């Protein structure tokens, strides 16, 4: 490794007596992509939030070259040339692209007023310099999630960043959009920027990373050249064990049709004990299908049958009462109630169906927390304080608590580490083995192939193909999707 551009040494951090980082060190070189990996809750985001000034460390130091940095806020980090692109996008939707890029750094005229023309010109210059196909004057609310991510990157580049942290940058991107991001990363690397890349997708690390650091339980367990370790080795360091079979063998489905969907461009039957995987590019209409079935966006143009009987759910309460459960792709915005306890987040979908018995609620939630291995210091702690993977398992527990027999899972492992992913797959297998049924929407092609009995592919709001997973390949799925 060349002389480090930035060093974090001996970083330690605790929250309420719980140590989340213990004597962690990280070195970044100019012009390298440094992969930071670990299970949810391993300390990755906390370490990077310390670097970005969101949290203050209890012990340790940060040096940029020979300079000892005092980073007390994100503003201090930006001044030092450090920018972070968070997993949850934090743009202001009501402002323009230019206003978001220079938010807090707006140029002013002679009288001290905001210089809008200059602001737009500077933003457009940044966008064109890096070949971002965006207009500075466009309102951010009109952009796709992928375009919003380009705005986040442009904001980092506008501050003359020398270090950019990317936290799960491809989690909401299609394959084509991910390829564009990889092109941008290659350009930034060639210009001498240091990039910290946080991802659970091993194929991305193999492609992008020059060096890898693995955290487990708040400690650094490996740091070295990417060429010196393979995927199996990374997984062993991450979870402390081998994961021989990520995708469990699924039991054969039954013949009974439990859900029948017939719309003008979409028609399929879901059987008892079956997992149908629904693939397609971002924007193909997959989420709209699930939301329509669940009564979030009722569709008047078609029919839905449940166990052979026509149904029309006017709201989610009716769908839940009929035995359906929906795991949203937007865990933060539409899934969890962040300030409410883990227990109430699990039980909330069943509150309309029974008189609340607090001791019974606590008992059942405790059983599910143990069964799904939800890591929480206490069932009464706010769910927003849990890692993303543990939040996801709690949301799955919600539908087990409610007794749902047909689950609509939208990106069930998005932003989830490999160990938790394996646990979710085993839970899905158990659900269908016990007679439940699952419609799984996924942008992860290996997941579609590994966790489906049949795979349907959508394109532009139409179900264009349905085939047995045993006959599927990634190329076949992408051929229909594109």
Helix runs in 16-110, H state only: 44-51, 74-79, 97-101
pLDDT of residue 112: 52
Helix axes 358-371, 388-401, angle to 10 degrees: 130
**Quick check: helix, strand or coil at residue 244?**
coil
Tell me the three-class secondary structure of 29-60, residue by residue: CCCCEEEEECCCCCCHHHHHHHHCCCCCCCEE
Q: Could you tell me whether strands 194-198 and 33-37 are parallel, antiparallel, or unpaired per DSSP bridges? A: parallel
- 105 Cβ neighbours under 8 A, 6+ residues apart: 158, 159
Same fold, 6-239 and 257-481: yes
pLDDT of residue 463: 94
Q: Does the model's pTM come out above 0.75?
A: no
Judge contact between 254 and 420, C-beta under 8 A.
no
DSSP state of 326: E
pLDDT of residue 41: 73
Distance CA 440, CA 468 (A): 15
Query: For domain 6-239, is the CATH number 3.40.50.300?
Result: yes
Distance CA 252, CA 105 (A): 59
Distance CA 450, CA 428 (A): 12
pLDDT of residue 414: 83
Class of domain 257-481: alpha beta
For 176: left if phi > 0, alpha if psi spans -120 to 50, otherwise beta; the answer is alpha
**Quick check: helix, strand or coil at residue 125?**
helix
- Angle value at C-alpha 132, between 181 and 74, nearest 5 degrees: 75
Cα–Cα distance list, 171 to 167, 212, 220, 300, 308 (Å): 9, 19, 24, 32, 37
The domains of the chain are located at: 6-239, 257-481
Enter the tokens of residue 426.
Answer: 């085993």
pLDDT beneath 70, residues of the chain: 1, 87-89, 106-115, 241-245, 352-356, 482
Judge contact between 336 and 391, C-beta under 8 A.
yes
């Amino acid at each position: 490794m060349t002389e480090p551009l930035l060093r974090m040494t001996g970083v330690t951090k605790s929250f309420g007596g719980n140590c989340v980082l213990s004597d962690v060190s990280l070195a970044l070189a100019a012009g390298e992509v440094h992969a930071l990996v670990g299970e949810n809750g391993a300390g990755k985001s906390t370490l990077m939030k310390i670097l970005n000034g969101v949290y203050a460390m209890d012990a340790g130091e940060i040096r940029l070259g020979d300079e000892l940095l005092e980073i007390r806020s994100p503003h201090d980090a930006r001044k030092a040339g450090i920018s972070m692109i968070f997993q949850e996008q934090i743009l202001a939707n009501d402002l323009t692209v230019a206003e978001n890029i220079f938010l807090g750094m707006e140029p002013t005229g002679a009288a001290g007023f905001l210089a809008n023309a200059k602001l737009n010109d500077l933003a457009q210059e940044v966008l064109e310099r890096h070949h971002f196909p965006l207009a500075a004057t466009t309102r951010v609310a009109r952009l796709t999630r992928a375009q919003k991510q380009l705005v986040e990157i442009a904001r980092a580049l506008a501050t003359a960043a020398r270090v950019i942290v990317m936290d799960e940058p491809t989690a909401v991107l299609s394959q084509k959009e991910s390829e564009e991001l990889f092109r941008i990363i290659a350009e930034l690397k060639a210009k001498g920027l240091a990039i910290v890349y946080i991802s659970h997708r091993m194929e991305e690390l193999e492609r992008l990373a020059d060096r890898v650091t693995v955290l487990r339980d708040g400690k650094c367990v490996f740091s070295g050249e990417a060429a010196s370790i393979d995927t199996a080795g990374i997984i062993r360091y991450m979870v402390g064990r081998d994961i021989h079979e990520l995708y469990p063998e699924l039991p054969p489905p039954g013949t009974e049709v439990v859900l029948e969907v017939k719309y003008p461009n979409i028609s399929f039957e879901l059987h008892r004990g079956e997992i149908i995987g629904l693939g397609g590019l971002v924007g193909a209409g997959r989420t709209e299908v699930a939301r329509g079935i669940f009564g979030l966006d009722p569709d008047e143009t078609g029919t839905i049958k449940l166990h052979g009987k026509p149904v029309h759910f006017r709201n989610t309460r009716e769908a839940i009462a009929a035995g359906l459960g929906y795991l949203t792709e937007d865990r933060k915005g539409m899934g969890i109630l962040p300030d409410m306890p883990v227990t109430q987040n699990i039980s909330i979908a069943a509150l309309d169906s029974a008189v609340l018995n607090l001791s019974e609620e606590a008992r059942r939630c405790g059983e599910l927390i143990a069964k799904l291995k939800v890591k929480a210091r206490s069932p009464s702690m706010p769910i927003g304080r849990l890692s993303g993977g543990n939040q996801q398992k709690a949301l799955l527990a919600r539908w087990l608590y409610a007794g749902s027999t047909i689950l609509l899972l939208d990106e069930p492992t998005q932003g989830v580490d490999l160990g938790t992913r394996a646990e979710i797959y085993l839970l899905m297998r158990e659900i269908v083995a016990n007679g439940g049924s699952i419609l799984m929407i996924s942008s992860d092609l290996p997941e579609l192939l590994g966790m489906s009995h049949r795979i349907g592919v959508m394109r532009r709001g139409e179900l264009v193909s349905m085939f047995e997973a045993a006959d599927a390949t990634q190329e076949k799925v992408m051929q229909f999707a594109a």
